Amino acid sequence: MNYDDNEKISMAVIKRLPRYYRYLGDLLENGITRISSGELSRRMNVTASQIRQDLNKFGCFGQRGYGYNVEMLYEEIKKILGLDREYNLIIIGAGNLGQALANYGNFKKRGFNFIAAFDKNPEIIGKKAGDVVIQDVDGLEDFLKNNRVDIAVLSIPKTNAPQISPILVENGVKGIWNFSHIDLHTPDDVVVENVHLTDSVMTLSYKLSELENK
């Protein structure tokens, strides 16, 4: 690995890495094995200097006249993002959102495997979410004791999330992908990634108002 483990990469750069990873994956699929920062910049609509700055941070220096080796860069970013392994995921709340996530095939392609889904509604328990049968949330604790779960997806109403999160934490789940609109209080060795689609649409509305005010 070229990148110096001791040198911490800023969160701003980390947040841009998945996008680089996606583009590089597309390039590989199209048989493109090397690319200049200028060409990558044109395709991604990011300045070439931003690309050089980002990628140089972890030692992926492009070579003058050659550019970047797409596969090396792809593999390097994959390692940094922890995508060189598989993750077991469970869904808590198999309603509209839980179903949509369970049915999105791309997660599996990236190594995120849904191994179970839980709900409290008797009408949907026993039905399927993606490839898995929805189980009664009463069995969550037992399931966690008997299976390795890396990430729990919380797609339940915010009022119910605080009761579920301690069960996850106490049973060794280290990653929570939280769609419930509530900030969870978890110990330092548990990481929570909050997702708010409304934040994204509000950013869009801001940009639209900016346009109109020009």
**What is the binding site for ligand NAI (CB under 6 A)?**
92-98, 118-121, 124, 137, 155-158, 160, 164, 179-181, 195-197
The angle formed by the CA atoms of residues 50, 52 and 58, to the nearest 5 degrees, is 110
Give the strand order in the sheet containing 128-129: 128-129, 132-136, 112-119, 87-92, 151-154, 175-178, 191-194
Torsions phi, psi for 119 (to 5 deg): -150, 165
- Distance between CA atoms of 152 and 166, rounded to whole angstroms? 12
Query: In the complex with ligand NAI, which residue's Cβ is closer, 15 or 214?
Result: 15
Q: What is the closest distance, in whole angstroms, from the C-beta atom of residue 183 to ligand NAI in the complex?
A: 12
Using CB positions, name the residue nearest to ligand NAI. 95
Q: What is the closest distance, in whole angstroms, from the C-beta atom of residue 175 to ligand NAI in the complex?
A: 16
Q: What is the closest distance, in whole angstroms, from the C-beta atom of residue 143 to ligand NAI in the complex?
A: 12
Q: What is the closest distance, in whole angstroms, from the C-beta atom of residue 194 to ligand NAI in the complex?
A: 7
Query: In the complex with ligand NAI, which residue's Cβ is closer, 31 or 122?
Result: 122
Query: In the complex with ligand NAI, which residue's Cβ is closer, 68 or 118?
Result: 118
Query: In the complex with ligand NAI, which residue's Cβ is closer, 40 or 164?
Result: 164
Beta bridge partners of 91: 117, 153
Q: Would you tell me the crossing angle of helices 48-56 and 11-29 to the nearest 10 degrees?
A: 110
Query: In the complex with ligand NAI, which residue's Cβ is closer, 74 or 179?
Result: 179
Q: How many residues does the chain have?
A: 214
